[in-house]
Every structure is written in structure tokens, then in C-alpha cells.
Structure 1
Amino acid sequence: MPISEQHKTGLQDLLLNERNSSVLVQLAKATTKNVCKIDDPEEALGLLVAHLPDIYILLSKRAITREMLFKYLTARVPDLATDFTKPDLVTKVINYWDQNATQSSSPSASQAVVSAAAIRSEEDFPIHAIARKFGEWFFERFNANSLSLVDLWTDATLHLTIMASDGINELECTTAAEVLASLTGAKQQFGFHFNPNLTHAGIQGRMDAYGQVVVLCCGTLHSAESSVGVFECAFGLLRDPYAGNNWKPKRIKCLLKSELRPPELHSLCSSETLQEALALPMPNDDLDSDAVN
């Protein structure tokens, strides 16, 4: 979903100023892999908006710090609490922009009085609720070695990529039994514990051209002693009418990557393999999120 005009206006308010213009240019250079020489902040903002399809992903970039968002909000929202994380601040900034846009577009003062509860942020879209619920369920079972064949479609497929210091291994599977054996085998071989980022910055839902709910999730890999890498997964879900109409994975694409200094919290905006999938449609209608295993 392209970044809306109201969010572009909000980004101008946040970034096109003396304090944050350098951050804006830095973000644009990083996003375009330094392919373009960028010195003008307005040009940098245009490139960012063109290359990042999701406002939440853009604001979750490491260069946009928690302190920057907090200072921006406190200058505009009175009595702002101080006990929330960066994902909370990102959501509050987006909600602030959405509410301002709603009020400014209303034709009368009476219509401008909009209940805050009625303003649904992108994070609250049903497809993202499905993604979070599925991700929590899947990785809890996977870490506990309780994932079973009935949790997958019988013709489930897997593309697994393992990147380590000694090279890259890729594996393709075309049955549920092979998928389960390969995922479990990789987990046991390396002693991995999967720690998914279950905030909106780390797990989101999309819809592909075939009507599958696509769950995009990333997180960190841990051994018994420390964090040893990151993972990025895309799950294609379809309902199974013979299993309570629950959403079950029909295809899985997964990257496991070892790193000497993994991030504390891996996010979708930093992913190497999920950027194309992040550009898929993001419906905001009800998909019955309760029917998820």
C-alpha cells in the first residue's frame, strides 16, 4: 500500500527541518544502497516514499530514533506518557497524523469531533491481527517441538535458505512431512531458539494474487548462550474447512542467517528477503482473525 498523502505531510513535518534533515538524507542513501547521490532533503523524502511502501516500516528504521519520535509527539500532544517503546511511539505518531487529517478534512466543526476509538490505525487491520496470532502460535509450537503434520497442508512447500560463515545452503520441500522434517532438523542441528518480533515492526500480513494471507515475520536466532543470528519468514496461509476453518501454512519461505552482532530486535524494514512481499496489498476489511488455530 503506497504511503498516503496525509502520511507524506506528516513525514515532512517530522523530517524536513533543521534538526532532522540529516537523518532524512541518511535514510534515503541507505534505502537506495547509495546508488543515488542525495543531498537535498526534499529529494531524499521523495525517494524514501517511492521505495518504502509502508509508513510503519519507514518510521521503524533505526535512523529514526525513539528520542526523535518522543520529542516530536511531546511538542504536539499534551500529557504524553513516557513508558512506551519505539513501536508504541511509531503507532502514536501515525495515529496523530491520521486524526489531524480526519479533522482538517471535515466540513464542519461538529463533524470534526471524532472519537479516538473510532480511528483505527493500520496496526489494527484484521490481516495484521491474523499475522500476529499465527506468528505467536507457530513459533511457540515450533520452539517447543510440538509442531505436527496436522498443522500444515499435506502439500505444503518450503524454501529454506541457511546462510553461515562457511557458505549458503538451500533446500526445497514439497510435502508436509518433508517441510516438518527440514525445519525441525535445521533447528536441532544448530540448537536454535526462534524469537519472533511480534510487534507491528516485526510481523505483518498481506494478501497475494491467489487469495492467500501472507504472514511476513522476522526475529532473532538464539543458542543456549547468546543471540547468533536472524531469521525472515513468509507463510502463505489458506483456510482448511476440515480443521475448524483455521488458517494453515501451505507454503513457507524461510531465511536463517548467522551474524556476529545480531540486532536486539530484527524488523521487517531491515529484512533482505521480504521487501517484495511487503509491497503486496494490505486489505483492511474483516478476515475473521479468530479462526487461526
Structure 2
Amino acid sequence: MPVLDHHKAGLRDLLQTEKNTPILLQLSKSTTKHVFKTEDPSEALDVLVTQIGDTYKLLSKRSISKEILFTYLSTKDPGVTTDFTKADLITKVISYWDQCVVATIPQNTNGTVSISENKKEEDYPIHTIARKFGEWFFEIFNKDNLQLVDLWSDATLNMTIIASDGVNELECSTAAEVIEALSSAKQQFGFHFNPNLTHNGIQGRMDAYGHVVVLSCGTLHTQDTCVGVFECAFGLVRDPHLDNNWKPRHFKFLLKSAQQPPELHSLGSSETLQAALELPVPSEDLE
């Protein structure tokens, strides 16, 4: 996903300072495995934006510390508290940049801002559906409360588990089998699914049949330890017997162990969802 122009301006404001320029230069070198070397901060930022291609992923780099983000945010928004994780600060920094660009949108002659101009992509109805579904699904799934009535009876699952001892793949074709397979995997490894519910971690798309596809990713935990990442695609179909609400029929899961998993997995760095991210993103209400 390309870095928006106003995000690039924000990154310039954050990194092209006397204190942070050395970090910017080193980050550009490490990102290109020292193939590209420059002492020009503008060139270094261009390289980062091109190579990484995702604002959240770029800010998640280890060299951009929590302290750097907090110091920057506190100068822009005095009074911000210190009780934040790095993931929280990244989200708040990006939100600050988004708010700044909205504030600069020209007004209409009657002094109001048109809804279409003011509307951010993350507020599109299809993304709202995706976030609500993700919140609902992972909450009941982590609590082992997923029921047959929550899925279409002919629900399907394609699940791949990549661990240190090999790769396991599983396919199911009924709601009962899907729930059993998901629950067994979670219980076998003691997983807790921590979804990234920001716009960088869960989004909606529309497939060729007019169905909503929810793309989601996050980290896998056992007790207090992060042990890997997950990537999911859910195919939702309206249920006329359930107030025409969206209901999951297709599930695709990747569970992958990692010795040094990221603090917060994002769609931009996913391995299995890139093709699905190219599907259409309607901005209007879904009929």
C-alpha cells in the first residue's frame, strides 16, 4: 500500500531533524542492505517510502523508538500521557497527520466541507463492516464462544500452520468442521489471537460476486509471550434470515511461528493477503 503524500510530509517532519537524521540515514542503509548509501536525508526518505511502502510498517521499525514517537507527538499535542505502547503511539502519530490534512481541505462557498472531500478511506462503510466483524469474531473466538449459528452451514476453511517442525495444511467444508479445526488449533498451541484493529491491520474488500472480504492480521500469544503472527481472509455473505446481516462463509487462515515477531503485524507486510488487497474498495454504502 503506497505511502500517502501527507504521511510522507509527516515522516519528513518527524525524521529530518538534527537529532533524528542519523537514524533516518542508517535506516535507509539497513533497509536496502547497504546497497544504497546516501548522506542526503531527502533521498534517504524517498528510499524508505519506496522500499517499505507502508506508513505503519515504516514507523514500526526498531530504530524508530517509542521515545522518538512520544517526543514528536508531545510537541504536536501537548499533554499527551506516557501510558502508551509503541503501537498506540504509531496510531496516534498517523491520526495526527490525517487530522492535519483534513484541516487543510478547502471549504465550499457556503463555508462547509463536503462529506466526500472530508471522508477518509478508513471510514468507508466496507472498512467499518470489516472492523466490526473483526472485533466480534476475535472476541468470541478467544473466549471459545464461536457457535454453529454464527457461520453458514456450508462454511469452508483453508488453514496453514507454519511452525519450526514443519507445515500443516487443513481444509474443511462444513460449519462444524470449521469450528472444530479452529478451536483445536487454538487449544493445541494455547494461542490467544491479538488482532490489529487499526486500518493498517484490518480492511474490507469486495469480490467479483459482490461479497465482502475481510482481510485481517495480528499477533499470536501464549500467556504473556508473543510467539508468531496470523493472517486471515473472511468471505462474508448476507443472511436474509438474520436481518440481511453479513455472515462468514469462507475462512482462510495462516498461523506462523516467529522467534522475533513484530509488535503489531500489518497488512502491508502480510505474506498471503497481497493479491486480495488489490480487490476493489467501494466508498459508498453497501446495498
Q: Which moved more, 1:151-160 or 1:83-92?
A: 83-92
Asked whether the 8 Å contact 2:206–2:281 carries over to 1, the reply is no
Q: Which residue of 1 aligns with 2:89?
A: 89
Aligned in 2, Cα 1:103/1:147: closer, same or farther, shift over 3 Å?
closer
Q: Which residue of 2 aligns with 1:39?
A: 37
Q: Percent identity?
A: 55
1:14 Cα offset (Å):
1.7
Asked whether the 8 Å contact 1:212–1:237 carries over to 2, the reply is yes
1:155-199 CA-partner distances (Å, limit 9, x unpaired) = 3332211112211112233443432332233234x2423232344
Counterpart of 1:5 in structure 2: which amino acid?
D
- Cα distance in 2, alignment partners of residues 46 and 101 from structure 1: 20
Q: Which residue of 1 aligns with 2:66?
A: 66
- Of the three residues 189, 204, 207, the one matched with 1:206 is 204
Q: Which runs of 5+ in 1 are unaligned?
A: 289-293
Count of residue pairs brought into register by the alignment? 280
1:190-219 CA-partner distances (Å, limit 9, x unpaired) = 242323234417731131442433323333
Asked whether the 8 Å contact 1:135–1:203 carries over to 2, the reply is no
1:50 Cα offset (Å):
3.5
- Cα distance in 1, alignment partners of residues 30 and 154 from structure 2: 40
Q: Which residue of 2 aligns with 1:143?
A: 142
1:10 Cα offset (Å):
1.7
Asked whether the 8 Å contact 1:221–1:230 carries over to 2, the reply is yes
RMSD: 3.7
Q: Which residue of 2 aligns with 1:157?
A: 156
Counterpart of 2:67 in structure 1: which amino acid?
E
Aligned in 2, Cα 1:256/1:94: closer, same or farther, shift over 3 Å?
closer
Matched, 1:248 2:244: no
Asked whether the 8 Å contact 2:152–2:175 carries over to 1, the reply is yes
Asked whether the 8 Å contact 1:95–1:119 carries over to 2, the reply is no
Counterpart of 2:190 in structure 1: which amino acid?
F
1:120-155 CA-partner distances (Å, limit 9, x unpaired) = 665555444333322232223323333233322333
Aligned in 2, Cα 1:161/1:29: closer, same or farther, shift over 3 Å?
farther
1:26-81 CA-partner distances (Å, limit 9, x unpaired) = 5556666x4x7222343443344345554344434444332222222223334444
Task: Give 3-state SS (helix, strand or coil) of 1:155's partner.
Answer: coil
- Cα distance in 1, alignment partners of residues 238 and 281 from structure 2: 18
Q: Which runs of 5+ in 2 are unaligned?
A: none
Asked whether the 8 Å contact 2:196–2:266 carries over to 1, the reply is no
Task: Give 3-state SS (helix, strand or coil) of 1:145's partner.
Answer: coil
Q: Which residue of 2 aligns with 1:291?
A: none
- Cα distance in 2, alignment partners of residues 214 and 31 from structure 1: 32
Aligned in 2, Cα 1:266/1:207: closer, same or farther, shift over 3 Å?
closer
Counterpart of 1:164 in structure 2: which amino acid?
A
Asked whether the 8 Å contact 2:211–2:236 carries over to 1, the reply is yes
Aligned in 2, Cα 1:43/1:281: closer, same or farther, shift over 3 Å?
farther
- Cα distance in 1, alignment partners of residues 27 and 85 from structure 2: 21
| TM superposition score normalised by structure 1 | 0.74
Aligned in 2, Cα 1:123/1:72: closer, same or farther, shift over 3 Å?
farther
1:254 Cα offset (Å):
1.0
Q: Which moved more, 1:256-265 or 1:144-153?
A: 256-265
1:1-33 CA-partner distances (Å, limit 9, x unpaired) = 63322222222222233433444455556666x
Matched, 1:197 2:195: yes
- Cα distance in 1, alignment partners of residues 278 and 22 from structure 2: 27
1:253 Cα offset (Å):
1.6
- Cα distance in 1, alignment partners of residues 86 and 135 from structure 2: 20
Aligned in 2, Cα 1:156/1:27: closer, same or farther, shift over 3 Å?
farther
Matched, 1:6 2:6: yes
1:248 Cα offset (Å):
1.8
1:260-284 CA-partner distances (Å, limit 9, x unpaired) = 4555654445543334444555555
| TM superposition score normalised by structure 2 | 0.76
Aligned in 2, Cα 1:181/1:287: closer, same or farther, shift over 3 Å?
same
- Cα distance in 2, alignment partners of residues 136 and 94 from structure 1: 21
Matched, 1:169 2:168: yes
